Structures are given as structure tokens and as C-alpha cells.
Amino acid sequence: MNKDLNHYKNLLIKEKDLIVSELSDLAQNKGGDAWEASAVDPVDTADREDVALNIEGYQEKDEVVRVLETQLSEVEHALSKIDSGTYGICEVSGEEIEEDRLEANPSARTCKSHINEWLQA
């Protein structure tokens, strides 16, 4: 295996910084990898529709936070694979993951032929 691990490590660290800064805008860190969406600014009226909008706004924010959290844990997972020397190995077949796939998604867990198998797992 002659992949440039430092290159991918840099990509992953950049991605991690980006995700963490997006999370910090939307949520509060609850320790470790746990984030909780911060409250939506309340609309300045007691109108029932506005209250409903606030709840909806919070739920949407919360969904974005969950997606970012998942992305963050994928990046952390990939970084730990670099440390343990298993980075770039397909988790389904144990083959090497194509470089262009890693370039497009440095935290990819599988080679191109096993993308769907991973998603269904």
C-alpha cells in the first residue's frame, strides 16, 4: 500500500474542522461527540402559528445537527483507521479502496463495488 496517508489525514482534519464549525453555529457541545441543537430564536408574539413555526424550526435544525454528527463520527472513524493502519481498506471485502473514491470522500468505508452493501448493513 503506497497511499499518501498524510494527504488523506489532512483532508480529514480539514473536513472535521469544517463540520465542527458548522455544528458550533447550530448546536451546543454536550461533551465528547454529543451535540444538541440550540434553541431557535423565539418569534416575538404568542401566536399559535408562530409557536408551531418555532418547533418546526428547531426540528429542522436538530435534523441537520444529527446529519453533521454522523459525518463527524465517520471522519473520526477514518482518522482512527489511519492510526491503526487500516485506512483505505474496504470494510466489506478487505480490498484497497480506489484512490479517486477516497479523494471524493476521504472517510469512505468501502470500495466502489461495496457502497450499497455498506449502506444496507
Contacting residues toward Zn ion, per CB under 5 A = 90, 92-93, 95, 111, 114
- The amino acid occupying position 110 is T
Record the cell numbers describing residue 37, joined without a space.
Answer: 441543537
Nearest Cα residue to 77 out of 32, 25, 12, 27 = 12
CB nearer Zn ion, residue 72 or residue 111: 111
Residue 64 or 92: the one with the smaller Cβ distance to Zn ion is 92
Q: What is the 3-state secondary structure (H, E, C) of 43-58?
A: CCCCCHHHHHHHHHHH
Q: How far is the CB of 118 from Zn ion (least distance, A)?
A: 9
User: Residue 10 corresponds to which cell in the numbers above?
Assistant: 489532512
CB of 4 to Zn ion, least distance (A): 21
Nearer to Zn ion, 20 or 92 (CB): 92
Angle ∠(59,64,121) on CA atoms, nearest 5: 110
| Cell numbers found for residue 14 | 480539514
Residue 3 or 16 with smaller CB distance to Zn ion: 3
Q: Closest approach of Cβ 117 to Zn ion, in Å?
A: 8
